[in-house]
Amino acid sequence: MHSLKHPSTIKSFDQWYQDVSSSLFLGQTNYDNQRVIGDVDKIRYILHIRVGKFENRYSIHLRFIENNMHLLRLDVGTGHSNPDGTHISGDHIHIYVSSEKHAKFFATPLEKSDFPNLNNLADALDAFLDYTNVKRRRRNGTDSI
């Protein structure tokens, strides 16, 4: 999770980021997948956003390209029932744990300190990128979000 990651195509990512940042939750939509690559380990990921048909209901995913499992998925505006019978009534997060057989199905409530403003998709995306250590490179080669 904490390893540094960068978009594979900065120009495409910048346009995608601009589109997401200007979103007004105007109905169900999917934002095109963006490819992200681990800086040191070269693990390839897909960054994806799905906005539901209800206001302030969305999910942001960072998935492994190799097997489509979520490294992290943020779900806002909906609850989740875990396989062990526990229920989360609100916003939650799925974090991949390789040692658990059904890790992708387990969710935990969000720490508000990690995601302070979920009412705004742009703010939530910024927090998600910080949490997963995805950085955009400026044209001069320095890292920035």
Global pTM value = 0.82
Domain count, the chain: 1
For residue 94, what are the domain limits? 5-144
pLDDT band at 127 (very low <50, low <70, confident <90, very high): very high
Which segments of 1-145 are extended strands (E)?
5-7, 29-38, 44-51, 58-64, 70-76, 80-81, 87-88, 92-95, 108-109, 136-137, 143-144
Residue 52 burial class via C-beta count within 10 angstroms: exposed 0-12, middle 13-18, buried 19 and up = middle
Running DSSP on this structure, what letter comes out for residue 138? P
Q: Judge whether residue 140 has pLDDT over 50.
A: no
pLDDT digits (tens, 9 = 90+) for 8-55: 887 788 888 888 877 766 666 777 788 899 888 899 999 999 888 777
